[in-house]
């Protein structure tokens, strides 16, 4: 669901008012039955998905029905039969994802290298493949994990159709995560009941306020200042990458927190998908804090199965896993390079990290600050790969960053003059707010609060953030970045 789209909130309101009025009256007259809550949630989620993308709705329903029937069949079988069913389901799920997400890349970016005419002909007739169904990457991973977890579970319990439907289609997270597991969300969807309490509302409002502020005030106000086309001025390449680094965090974390808040209103607890990643002091720590559910998904369903008992090859499989993770983010060479870049950083940390940190701790002042600064700089450099889909321009940027002449005083003056006075004021205010949010994350960790966002989700801060969103939210919201993935 696109929380920045007015129609989402309009459809949610139009459904909720009559449904919950009917529910209240039904409960008052002792006519409402508990299963009606699960049915109502399923209809609400499917209605919102249909509103978001009518054409993708058909694909979504097909995958739900197919996966449910096959999982039900698998749970009734033992041994090689159950394994064969699980394998077939996973292959078909991944094949559907690959068809919609990667067929263009394969034809244009791989086959097209050897046969340019074939790629040109494909481009002329490939508009039907250009749009990726909303949420496909996320709910495919969720379905795959459900198949694996059901197959490996010691207790083969039957799965009810309504429970499975609500698990996959639960509207706050279906389009852009978090990627929930059977152990975290399915148990909450079994015999689902709405849990409207004052505590749930207060907690949901705090997460909703933080998410909306991050998205509409920070991410959307930074977006107009990011110019991907600048490639020959090193100062601007770094600055735009820095802005993009902030934007992608506030955009994606903002979505996740809105989802968290909406789910909490109904009494559902979603996984916290971000843990203040820009406070990290190593790349390893960064990936424990960034897009948590995707990182753990690749760890449990790709890295560990690939490595098996071959622990001596752990470094190689770690690199492969991160390269695949980059490819998941997008069907383009820059995403593969981005994944390989982070995989390489983790290998450097694995073999040279301890001696380096020992050296920093013994020889240099403020070792924690230096570790944080190097980690954040590495993330910003990674965003150069992530944000640039033009391979030639990406190469130009990388050559610019390593060229001393690109850092000349004249280039700095050119960078300084690239924004008007009014643009500079708006950008400065937005950056001040963004840095303030990041400082509160750092402060929460330094004070050892219960959570990384404990200060930002305190009652009085939540009210300030909500009011600030109403007053200073961008007039032209941009789409959520991860809807493209």
Q: Domain locations in the chain?
A: 6-194, 200-484
Residue 108 pLDDT: 63
Residue 482 pLDDT: 67
Distance (Å, rounded) from C-alpha 101 to C-alpha 380?
26
Choose among 366, 379, 386: nearest CA to 280: 379
> Tokens 């992530």 identify what position?
386
259 touches 172 (CB < 8 A)? yes
Q: If the chain, 485 residues long, is cut into consecutive pieces of 10 residues, what is the mean pLDDT of each piece?
A: 78 92 91 91 93 86 95 91 94 91 72 58 54 83 94 87 94 87 91 92 95 94 90 92 96 93 94 94 92 93 88 88 90 89 88 67 69 92 91 91 88 84 90 95 90 92 92 74 64
The first and second tokens of residue 65, run together, are 């029905």
Distance (Å, rounded) from C-alpha 64 to C-alpha 476?
35
- Per the annotation, the verdict on 291 as an active-site residue is no
Long-range CB pairs of 395-404 (<8 Å, 24+ gap) are 396/231, 396/232, 397/231, 397/237, 400/231, 400/232, 400/233, 400/234, 400/237, 401/234, 401/237, 401/238, 403/234
pTM (two decimals):
0.90
Residue 401 pLDDT: 92
Residue 411 pLDDT: 86
Catalytic-labelled residue, pool 291, 329, 342, 442: 329
Q: How far is CA 208 from the centre of its chain?
A: 17
DSSP 347-378: HHHHHHHHHHHHHHHHHSSSHHHHHHHHHHHH
Residue 295 pLDDT: 93
Residue 69 pLDDT: 96
DSSP, res 5: S
181 touches 149 (CB < 8 A)? yes
Residue 154 pLDDT: 81
Whether the upstream peptide bond of residue 332 has omega within 30° of 0, thus cis, is: no
Q: b/e map of 150-159 (b: 16 or more CB within 10 Å)?
A: bbeeeeeeeb
Distance (Å, rounded) from C-alpha 463 to C-alpha 202?
11
């Amino acid at each position: 669901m696109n929380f920045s789209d007015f129609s989402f909130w309009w459809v949610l309101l139009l459904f909720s008012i009559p449904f919950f009025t009917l529910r209240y009256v039904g409960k008052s007259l002792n006519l409402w039955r508990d299963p009606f809550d699960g049915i109502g949630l399923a209809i609400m989620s499917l209605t919102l998905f249909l509103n978001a993308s009518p054409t993708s709705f058909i694909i979504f329903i097909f995958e739900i029905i197919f996966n449910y029937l096959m999982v039900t069949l698998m749970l009734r079988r033992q041994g090689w039969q159950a394994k064969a069913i699980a394998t077939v389901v996973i292959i078909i799920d991944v094949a559907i994802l690959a068809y919609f997400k990667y067929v263009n890349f394969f034809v244009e970016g791989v086959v097209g290298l050897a046969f340019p005419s074939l790629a040109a002909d494909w481009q002329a007739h490939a508009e039907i493949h250009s749009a990726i169904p909303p949420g496909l990457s996320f709910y495919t991973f969720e379905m795959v994990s459900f198949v694996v977890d059901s197959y490996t579970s010691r207790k083969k319990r039957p799965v009810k159709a309504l429970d499975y439907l609500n698990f996959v289609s639960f509207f706050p997270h279906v389009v852009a995560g978090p990627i929930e597991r059977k152990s975290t969300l399915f148990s909450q969807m079994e015999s689902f009941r709405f849990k409207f309490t004052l505590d749930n509302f207060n907690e949901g409002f705090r997460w909703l306020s933080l998410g909306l502020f991050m998205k509409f005030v920070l991410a959307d106000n930074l977006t107009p200042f990011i110019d991907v086309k600048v490639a020959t001025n090193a100062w601007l390449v770094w600055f735009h990458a820095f802005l993009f680094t902030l934007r992608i965090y506030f955009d994606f974390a903002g979505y996740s927190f809105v989802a968290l808040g909406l789910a909490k209103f109904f009494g559902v607890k979603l996984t916290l998908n971000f843990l203040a990643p820009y406070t990290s002091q190593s790349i390893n720590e960064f990936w424990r804090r960034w897009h948590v559910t995707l990182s753990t998904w690749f760890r449990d369903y790709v890295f560990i199965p690939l490595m098996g008992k071959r622990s001596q090859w752990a470094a190689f499989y770690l690199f492969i896993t991160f390269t695949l993770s980059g490819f998941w983010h997008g069907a383009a060479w820059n995403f593969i390079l981005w994944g390989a870049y982070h995989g390489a950083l983790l290998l450097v940390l694995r073999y040279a990290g301890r001696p380096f940190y020992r050296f920093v701790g013994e020889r240099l002042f403020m070792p924690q600050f230096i570790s944080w600064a190097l980690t954040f700089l590495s993330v910003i450099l990674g965003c150069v790969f992530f944000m640039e889909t033009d391979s030639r321009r990406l190469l130009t940027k990388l050559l610019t960053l390593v060229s001393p002449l690109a850092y000349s005083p004249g280039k700095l003056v050119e960078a300084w003059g690239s924004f008007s006075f009014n643009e500079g004021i708006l950008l400065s205010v937005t950056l001040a707010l963004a840095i303030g949010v990041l400082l509160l994350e750092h402060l929460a960790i330094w004070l050892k609060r219960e959570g990384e966002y404990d200060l930002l989700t305190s009652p009085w801060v939540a009210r300030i953030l909500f009011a600030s969103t109403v007053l200073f939210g961008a007039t032209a919201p941009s789409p959520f970045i991860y809807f493209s993935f």
